[in-house]
Amino acid sequence: MSQVCVATYRSYDDRADFHKKALSIAVGLTVGSWTDLPEAQKAEMEKHLGKVLSVDVYEPANHAPGERYADIRIAYPDINFSRDLPALLVTVFGKLSMDGRIKLLDLDVSESFVSAFPGPKFGLEGVRGLLGVHDRPLLMSIFKSVVGHDLTNLQEQFYKQALGGVDLIKDDEILFENPLTPLEKRVEACMEAARKAEVETGQKLLYAVNLTGPTSQLAVNARKAIDAGANALLFNALAYGYDVLHELSSDPTINVPIAAHPALAGAIYPSPQYGISASLLLGKLMRLAGADLVLFPSPYGSVVMPKEENLAVKDALLSPLHGLRASFPVPSAGIHPGLVPLILKDFGSDVVVNAGGGIHGHSMGTAAGGQAFRQAISATLNGTPLQEAAYAPGNEALQAAIQSWGIKDA
């Protein structure tokens, strides 16, 4: 078979002949019809025809209505679509997404297709290289809150976060262009705070400024931010689309890491019977489009994604994929220092521990919030239980955090 992209679906139906359904998908989303075509035309259209690769039917005994399903794999010839993610997604799931209870689980793209995608410009190792941190998980802090604050307020909040020893600070995804904190002035103010904090901590950090505005102006705004000193970008990738992320990440003048935010993802992945799987939506497609870091809901906190799906996202970001760089997984929401052992157990050291309230809500202040996380990370890497580490000299910040939030290690 020539170069193809293989889509895996899960289709639910209590009575359907799934083999017939798979064939109708393969034909309907490619040549449109087959059996009625003259033989000469069939020979001409063969190279465009989708092919059913497998149909695995799951029909539990005494199953309740709605539980019968099949996993269907279909190969789509690359010749049918241009080498861009919108064309691929419309081909394999555009019309089909509206055809009842069916979910797109995975896409295996061909070498030919992926050759149009350089993937993450920096990736996991590149981000580590920029920070000079290779032996531990990274720590990210989030501005809370941002709307209505002026530059002085924002700069002070940035400085306090930086003093806590975080590696990255990101804008909130709802911080858009506004007269109080315009993009270039915001970058200048925050990077000044970063330099001031570095004198005290000796630590580099990346500031992921939220890239917003009309699509036609995004590249211009990115360059403005970089010229003003920005060393990373935050991007609401699903709101703008994967192709926009791809354009930004592959632009040689936008030479900073891009962190993709998962805003709107909850409208797409959670249902078992509709939408697109989290591992594809927030894993493989984000990586193909060039995200260096990808945020997604953690399985621990306030916006919960089931752990099985969560770890599948991680695997999609880290596992070998046509030679593309790995993207940094950033499980987020509801993270506090008492979760660090569990995060490292589930994700290993190649993870960004991302916290908002777990830093700003610390009883000793924002700087102590960051320090508590760093102390928890060091203790976990050394094999020291947090309950023991909290009472070590100098770890008062960790002790206070545990008193506030406790420890969760299973």
Strand segments, DSSP code E, in 174-320 are: 206-210, 232-236, 258-261, 275-276, 293-297
Distance of CA 114 to the CA centre of its chain: 19
Band of residue 334 on the pLDDT scale cut at 50, 70, 90: confident
What six digits make up the tokens of 197? 């904090």
DSSP state of 85: H
Those residues whose C-beta lies under 8 Å from the C-beta of residue 234, and which sit 6 or more positions away, are: 170, 171, 173, 208, 209, 210, 211, 258, 259, 261
pLDDT for 150 = 83
8 A C-beta contact, residue 351 and residue 343: yes
% of the chain residues with pLDDT over 90: 78
pLDDT for 37 = 59
Instruction: Render pLDDT for 233-291 as a digit per residue (tens, 0 to 9).
Output: 999 999 999 999 999 999 999 999 999 999 999 999 999 999 999 999 999 999 999 99
Class of domain 4-114: alpha beta
CA distance readout (Å), 25 to 73, 104, 272: 10, 13, 20
1 pLDDT exceeds 60? no
DSSP state of 217: G
From the list 20, 47, 95, 345, the catalytic residue is 95
Strand segments, DSSP code E, in 195-291 are: 206-210, 232-236, 258-261, 275-276
Mean pLDDT of 322-334: 94
Instruction: Render pLDDT for 397-407 as a digit per residue (tens, 0 to 9).
Output: 999 999 999 99
DSSP string, 11-63: EE-SS--HHHHHHHHHHHTTTS--TTS-HHHHHHHGGG--EEEEEEEE--TTP
Band of residue 35 on the pLDDT scale cut at 50, 70, 90: low
Distance of CA 191 to the CA centre of its chain: 25
pLDDT for 101 = 94
What six digits make up the tokens of 127? 């981000």
DSSP state of 108: E
Can you give the residue ranges of every domain in the chain?
Answer: 4-114, 123-405
Those residues whose C-beta lies under 8 Å from the C-beta of residue 65, and which sit 6 or more positions away, are: 14
Those residues whose C-beta lies under 8 Å from the C-beta of residue 94, and which sit 6 or more positions away, are: none
386 pLDDT exceeds 80? yes
pLDDT for 116 = 95
What six digits make up the tokens of 148? 């209505």
Mean pLDDT of 117-137: 97
8 A C-beta contact, residue 298 and residue 316: no
Sign of CA dihedral 127, 132, 135, 139: negative
8 A C-beta contact, residue 192 and residue 162: no
Instruction: Render pLDDT for 173-199 as a digit per residue (tens, 0 to 9).
Output: 877 888 888 888 999 999 999 999 999
Three-state secondary-structure class, residue 223: helix
Fold of the CATH domain 123-405: TIM Barrel (3.20.20)
Instruction: Render pLDDT for 363-379 as a digit per residue (tens, 0 to 9).
Output: 999 999 999 999 999 99
- Residue 396, CA atoms < 13 Å, CB-side half-sphere: 6
The closest of 176, 88, 129 to 292, measured between CA atoms, is 129
pTM of the model: 0.93
Evaluate the omega torsion of the peptide bond into residue 279 and state whether it is cis, within 30 degrees of 0. no
Strand segments, DSSP code E, in 251-394 are: 258-261, 275-276, 293-297, 328-332, 352-355
316 pLDDT exceeds 90? yes
Residue 95 annotated to the active site: yes
8 A C-beta contact, residue 212 and residue 176: yes
pLDDT for 39 = 62
Instruction: Render pLDDT for 86-113 as a digit per residue (tens, 0 to 9).
Output: 999 999 999 999 998 999 999 999 999 9
CA distance readout (Å), 39 to 42, 46, 52: 5, 10, 20
Question: How does strand 102-108 pair with strand 138-142?
Answer: unpaired
410 pLDDT exceeds 60? no
